[in-house]
Structure 1
């Protein structure tokens, strides 16, 4: 079995090194031929981690011709701003390198089991690779995971077939031990646990078995609240709006068209040649909220919150843990 742990600039040390130790310990207890390598998308090089800029040697290039496990760690950095050393920026930069193309190809290969720790799943999500897939990430990134049309699951580990994802930083131990059990059996996994004096945490979530019953009363209450929040102010928002969204990586021009049909506000947005429908339009007080799928600068489901002052629109667009982007615009029709 061939195991490749991918390093990229800004990666989190514990996300990568904890599984590296688990897999190497498993190799000691197994009669199978197991190789464990630290690799990068670019090939052999020193890779600078996000923890105090500590450098680790990648011994080769990520090889998609080898069957086995590919593990993607998350990033380490600031979570309080959108600067170059912030976690969202480092994850996005990794997704935009050759690594993004290689992971896209890896997802198509049934002989490869792709696994992630912490923010590693967001690298896949930012590349549009987790649409409709069950996954988990660090709790601060679950909103962004959902914004990329993945299906977030609040579990320590999520097993979605050829995709296994883990939650926060320390879940790297749990992910690796679970993969050892899945691929080599529980006896070897148990031997590694005893060696490390560590017991795995949490239940591994799978889309199997009976689904838990939902609380119907809570669901009905949410629907009632949603309906009662609509007001008769749809006329304030009607029209064609020329807006600009200031994202961390540049400004986007979006033409928004809002119409009142039978007391219900509906709308579309045009970005370049793409026209999309505004979903879940709702008026709360003097604010209009909606969600919208965009493909640029990356595939996201953005949530908007705007207010109107005469013919001027101001608000923000948000996607999970990514910093809010300011929206300004004016009515042109």
Structure 2
């Protein structure tokens, strides 16, 4: 499983590094997992939304290469002109090559797209997940619904080739879930034990009987 964790100007560091570190630990535990930080533009220094915190992307987002593409949300503290809200940061990502590449990833058979926090809003605002079940930070569920997506108030939502996670810390849960789903429970359990972290809640899926309430 080769994973591209996508960075963009103003990304939230924990959204990206939570699943990234889980994936790297899974590789050390013996899982067939590789992960790299990428951008739509290629290798570069990428300023996060946290002041003075920058990460270096070493590759280019390529849906034809990645088995999994993970898109984080934004932190909303970029310097420079304009607004610095999370919404503004997410909106600016739509002006890059990210939406077009995300569209290719969603259309490509065998590629899984995952998001953390506001990452699902990037897809939704780009018109890529209308009618799809997804989650995001609880403060963004109404915005998600306004795009035509089908918001679910859950920590993780598995909609087949689209897996979305809620608030910032859910990125660790997302990483563990993807490791379990794609490489098996023993590697996921080993990483969970190493991190002294247990996933919270049920990964919601549009399968099985509907609950009565």
TM-score, normalised to structure 2's length?
0.95
Aligned to 1:12: 12
Distance 2:61 2:178 in 1: 19
Aligned to 2:74: 75
Aligned to 1:122: 121
Q: Deviations over 1:99-123 (max 9, x none)?
A: 1111111110122100000000000
How far is 1:213 from its partner?
1.9
Q: Does 1:206 align with 2:208?
A: no
Unaligned ranges ≥5, structure 2 = none
> Rg bigger for which structure?
1
Distance 1:132 1:166 in 2: 17
How far is 1:31 from its partner?
4.9
Distance 1:106 1:201 in 2: 28
Aligned to 1:66: 65
Q: Deviations over 1:246-274 (max 9, x none)?
A: xxxxxxxxxxxxxxxxxxxxxxxxxxxxx
Q: Is 1:67–1:111's contact at 8 Å kept on the other side of the alignment? A: no
Aligned to 2:153: 154
Q: Deviations over 1:218-271 (max 9, x none)?
A: xxxxxxxxxxxxxxxxxxxxxxxxxxxxxxxxxxxxxxxxxxxxxxxxxxxxxx
Higher strand proportion (structure 1 or 2): 1
1:121-200 alignment to 2 at 5 Å?
121-200=120-199
Match of 1:201, SS state, is coil
Q: Deviations over 1:168-188 (max 9, x none)?
A: 000000011000000011111
1:90-101 alignment to 2 at 5 Å?
90-101=89-100
Q: What RMSD over aligned residues (CA atoms) do the two structures have, in Å?
A: 1.1
Distance 2:153 2:211 in 1: 14
Match of 1:180, SS state, is helix
Higher helix proportion (structure 1 or 2): 2
Aligned to 1:106: 105
1:244-263 alignment to 2 at 5 Å?
none
Any runs of at least 4 consecutive aligned residues in structure 1 with deviations exceeding 2 A, and if so which? none
Distance 2:180 2:201 in 1: 15
Question: How many equivalent pairs are there?
Answer: 209
How far is 1:67 from its partner?
4.0
**Larger RCO (CA under 8 A, 6+ residues apart):** 2
Match of 2:3, SS state, is strand
Q: Is 2:63–2:69's contact at 8 Å kept on the other side of the alignment? A: no
Distance 1:127 1:67 in 2: 21
Q: Is 2:31–2:187's contact at 8 Å kept on the other side of the alignment? A: no
TM-score, normalised to structure 1's length?
0.61
Distance 1:166 1:96 in 2: 23
Q: Is 2:40–2:98's contact at 8 Å kept on the other side of the alignment? A: yes
